[in-house]
Structure 1
Amino acid sequence: MLKVRELKSNVWELTLDGVLEKGDIETMERELTPALKGDGPLGLIVRAEGWKDITADAMVEDAKFEFGMLAQWSKIAKMALVTDLQAFAAVMKWIDPILPMIDMKAFAASDVAAAEAFASDLPVRQAAASGSGVNLLSDGKDGVLAYEIDGRITADDVDKLLAPLEAHMKGDEKINLLVRFKHYDGFDPAILIDGSVMGSKIKAITHLGRYAVVGAPKWMAAMVSTVGAMMPFEMQMFDASEDAAAWAWVRGA
């Protein structure tokens, strides 16, 4: 069984008890979707003191829901897990680096009040972005292709990103890339299942020389720094105040 309730504005509590079935996940989806599609940040408390198991069809339904709402999970700023089972707390420690945008913490069953206080201590809501999503700053003719992210990234924005890049993906030609974040307001999840987009991104990796990321959100910077170590090109993160240094580095100065 699963119960969902809003403790206060933008703070939600999920109580897991016994064996979770598909209908329980559908209840969670019905209750949480409006909140996830609304304005963040959100706090989430997962009370798993009485959780025993989950059926196979419930796991499938949960995966569909979580993947379908992937672009919205960054709105969850705080997540508290209440359980005395060490295995659940260990899983949270494993997931935490994968979702650095969410501040996660495990609490014992006797610390419910502390869990509620933690999940309710939300950061100040940022003003909505008024930008157009993606703006081209430099078309690559001088060896640097540069974009500014300002708003929500849509499928059309991806086309704007890839078109100039594909012009440089010929033979062994290399291009340096700079992406500056003015305000990031998420992305359209349909982008993730567009095969042509993913194919173009994979192809582009082999044509990058240097990649500078300026002013990214902290959670994104942490993720990019981890992934960057595995990429076949040089990648460096810069604070928003280091714009000039980023341009100098990406130009090889």
Structure 2
Amino acid sequence: MHPLDPVPAVHRLETDNPQVFAIEITGQATSADAENLFGLLEGAYALHDRVDVLVRATQYEGADWGEIDPDTVAEGRRHAEQHVRRCAVVGGPDWTASLGGFFAKDVPVELRYFDAADESEAWRWLGAREISTES
């Protein structure tokens, strides 16, 4: 990574439950971040047929996904509908209404929003804990 390249906004978080996929979105998310997210999710789907997802928004500044290929979004949606059971959104804006529109109406993905102060409740709801990677 070149020092002047923008820092990726999407980072995977380690969890103690392999069926819980967690990410943190920090700052401004771009189309490249969305494509990275879809790739990370594909890796989780390859390992586990069904996963729960936690999205933590930290200092979220919005998203500009205008350059992402619509076919990529359609494929990401289709795969998420096949593999995601529950999704917890923590902090930042409450995306659960717009995420609900991302999935087909007959797909039973359970979505919940948690304030940043209630993050531990979100982890409990998904049956996992974050594993710190800092030394």
| TM-score normalised by structure 2 residue count | 0.71
Secondary structure at the aligned position of 1:204 is classed as helix
Bigger RCO (CA 8 Å, 6+ sep): 2
> What are structure 1's unaligned runs of at least 5 residues?
1-129
For the 8 Å contact 1:176–1:251, the answer to whether it is kept is no
AA matched with 2:18? D
* Offset at residue 159 of structure 1 (A): 2.7
User: Where does residue 109 of structure 2 map in the other structure?
Assistant: 233
User: Where does residue 142 of structure 1 map in the other structure?
Assistant: 18
1:181 to 57, 79, 90: 57
AA matched with 2:108? P
For the 8 Å contact 2:10–2:33, the answer to whether it is kept is yes
User: Where does residue 164 of structure 1 map in the other structure?
Assistant: 40
Q: Which has the larger radius of gyration?
A: 1
CA-to-aligned-CA distance 1:45-98 (integer Å, 9 cap, x gap): xxxxxxxxxxxxxxxxxxxxxxxxxxxxxxxxxxxxxxxxxxxxxxxxxxxxxx
> What are structure 2's unaligned runs of at least 5 residues?
1-5, 129-135
Whole-angstrom CA distance in 2 between matches of 1:135 and 1:172:
20
In structure 2, relative to structure 1, the CA distance for the partners of 1:142 and 1:169 (3 Å cut) is closer
AA matched with 2:67? A
1:1-253 to structure 2, matched below 5 A, reads 132-138=8-14, 142-170=18-46, 173-188=49-64, 189-191=66-68, 193-218=69-94, 220-221=95-96, 223-224=97-98, 227=101, 230=105, 231-251=107-127
Percentage of pairs with the same residue: 31
Secondary structure at the aligned position of 2:49 is classed as coil
AA matched with 1:190? E
For the 8 Å contact 2:21–2:44, the answer to whether it is kept is no
| TM-score normalised by structure 1 residue count | 0.41
RMSD over equivalenced CA pairs, Å: 3.2
* Offset at residue 250 of structure 1 (A): 1.2
Aligned length: 121
